Chain A
Amino acid sequence: MTVHVSRLTSKVIGDKTTTADQAPAIRVRGLTKSFKDLEVLRGVDLDVARGSIVALLGSNGAGKTTVVRILATLLRADGGSASVNGFDVSAQAADVRASLSLTGQFAAVDEILTGRENLVLVARLRHLGDPGAVADAMLERFSLTDAGGRRVSEYSGGMRRRLDLAMSLVGEPPVIVLDEPTTGLDPQARLEVWQAVRELAAAGASVLLTTQYLDEAEQLADRIAVLHGGRILVAGTLAELKALLPPATVEYVEKQPTLEDVFLALVGDTSAGRGAGADE
């Protein structure tokens, strides 16, 4: 396998849908941010090409959420620049908000409203025509039609996450940012979220997702950027990252089922029908 590892910077290599004059979905240069004396970001560079899924990988406290909050115009950077869909996050915040949708770390749904009312609310706030139809389509897409009339406080963690994602997708924003979308979910719910993310990208959206799970990045992302010590240590495709290490030696190992395989087999993996990770 011949892969360029000489320059593992954030240069976009395999851009699928862009024309040359279009700005990347997300472009971050030299981003810095401190909280009091704590330097969280010390010059982050990051690109998300249109139509691609990029995983921002880092341990707890690495600053992933800080990057996300700056991109979503919820936090101001100290230095550097960041643009979303070609709009600068500080100078053109309103355009950024129109282009980007954020799904935060904890499902930001209204517990007192029903699932459908949550979706109608977001559709109204995005000034869409026929909010009811938009909501019904989303419920259908995220297998929540039966639960649509129930209050969210009765939902399971996985359903809440799906509703959260559905709310983020109302109005089809071109850039989607997911902050640790599967943290705290059970394996089935996790597979459902993965499937939803794949569908998003297939439909042409650009996705930036943060995660602390290595397998999640491996499963979903076209490119992976590792955030550590306030900087992007490396960024590239999975193959490029793997090539950083010495070539693999071939070993024969008995394939034991993982506990996840056992668990999913026992509970009859209902989400396998949705095509998510049935081959894992």
Chain B
Amino acid sequence: MTTRTFRDTTVLLGRSLRHVLRSPDTIITTAIMPIAMLLLFVYVFGGAIRAGSQPYVDYLLPGILLITIASGISYTAFRLFLDLKGGIFERFQSMPIARPSVLWAHVLTSLVANLVSLAVVVGVAVLMGFRSQAGLAAWLAVAGILILFTLALTWLAVIAGLSAKTVDGASAFAYPLIFLPFLSSAFVPTDTMPAPVRAFAEHQPVTSIVDAIRALFAQQPVGGAIWVALAWCAGTLVVAYGLAMLAYRRRIA
């Protein structure tokens, strides 16, 4: 059964990756907004932001990576919604395939597309002067956190895609997620914020994830931040997956 799930998922993954390849604009638009922010904040606002001794691009990149993911996953909701609307989702569900593979294919497509977008954004950051002495282990840890974050947000996108009534609704849910990094330590340190904002910023998931990634890049001890970050990612993943399964069952008998 699991080998069948794996095989069917691979076939369907091939299908939706082909969709991505045929509309490469989805990867470009995913990367372009974070790159624009990177340029804006480093070359316009960055000079006036005091964020410690390191170059501002090094400080900024982790938050930009999270914004990249948050804008990338809305395409999963979009593609899933179109599958449901066009009836091909039902065609797959009425065929003798492992049913969960239909959703997993979309989730893995999101993962692949987001990793490509992230690589593009990191490439641009390197051109802008981003440097890290981090070793292989630290880079793998960063990749692990980003993959976990992508999976968690993608399952949120699956809920949106399954329950949306319109195509705009399917992708609109991502806006608050894109905005969340602004209320965190992603752009500026939290200690200049007014107390209530600061309290929110320091206790929302983005800050811990950004802090953990920043520490890994700077080869500093990650401390407790990484565990808080992992707990947020894993918790969101589990809850989103559960809710997505509920939405899925409501949709399909």
Q: Show the binding face of A for B, using Cβ within 8 Å.
A: 69, 72-76, 94, 97-98, 100-102, 104-113, 117, 121-122, 124-127, 167
B18 touches A112 (CB 8 A): yes
Centre residue among A98, A108, A117 by max chain B CB count within 10 A: A108
Partner of A126, one of B12, B90, B95, B252: B95
A113-B18, A126-B95, A126-B96 are known contacts. Are A74 and B90 too (CB-CB below 8 A)?
A: yes
Interface of A is mostly: loop
Give the residues in chain B near A108, CB-CB below 8 Å: 86-88, 90-91
Q: Inside 8 A of A167's CB, which chain B residues have their CB?
A: 91
User: Which residues of chain B in 1-39 are interfacial with respect to chain A, using CB atoms and an 8 Å cutoff?
Assistant: 7-8, 11-12, 15, 18-19, 22-23
> A107 CA to B94 CA in the complex, in Å?
14
Given A72-B94, A112-B22, residue A107 in contact with residue B15 (CB < 8 A): no
Contact A74 B252 (CB under 8 A): yes
B97 at the interface (CB under 8 A from A): yes
Q: How far is the CB of B181 from chain A (nearest CB, A)?
A: 32
With CB as the reference atom, state the residue of chain A lying closest to B88. Answer: A108
Interface residues of B in 95-117 (CB under 8 A from A): 95-97
Given A102-B91, A112-B18, A112-B23, the answer on whether A73 and B96 have CB atoms closer than 8 Å is no
A49 to chain B, nearest CB (A): 22
Per the bound structure, the CA–CA distance linking A94 and B4 in Å amounts to: 13
Distance, CA A72 to CA B95, complexed state (A):
9
Distance of A72 Cα from B252 Cα, bound (Å): 11
B94 contacts A74, C-beta separation under 8 Å: yes
- In the bound complex, what is the Cα–Cα distance between A111 and B23 (angstroms)? 12
A167 to B18, CA, bound (A): 19
The 4 closest A-B CB pairs, nearest first, are A108-B87, A98-B96, A76-B253, A108-B91
Please state if B95 and A97 are interface contacts (CB–CB under 8 Å). yes
Would A100 and B8 count as touching, CB distance under 8 A?
A: no
Q: What residues on A are CB-neighbors of B91 within 8 Å? A: 102, 104, 108, 167
Known: A74-B252, A75-B253. A111 touches B86 (CB 8 A): yes
The answer to whether A106 and B86 touch (CB under 8 A), given A97-B96, A122-B95, A125-B95, is yes
- B94→A73 contact, CB < 8 A: yes
Whether B92 sits at the interface, judged by CB under 8 Å, is: yes
Chain A residues closer than 8 Å to B88, beta-carbon distance? 108-110
Q: CB distance A102 to B94 under 8 Å?
A: yes
Interface residue? B93 (CB, 8 A): yes
| Residue in chain A with minimal CB distance to B91 | A108
Q: How far is the CA of A112 from the CA of B19 in the complex (A)?
A: 6
In B101-149, the 8 Å CB interface with A consists of none
Which of B8, B19, B96, B252 is packed against the most chain A CB atoms within 10 Å?
A: B96
Q: In whole Å, how far is A162's beta carbon from the nearest beta carbon of chain B? A: 15
A124 neighbours in B (Cβ, 8 Å): 11
Q: B15 touches which one: A105, A109, A110, A111 (CB < 8 A)?
A: A110
Cα(A75)–Cα(B22), bound, Å: 34
CB-CB under 8 A from A112, the residues of chain B are 18-19, 22-23
Residues in B whose Cβ lies below 8 Å from that of A117 = 18
Listed by A's residue number, 8 A-B pairs whose Cβ atoms lie within 8 Å are A74-B94, A75-B253, A100-B94, A102-B90, A104-B91, A108-B86, A109-B86, A125-B12
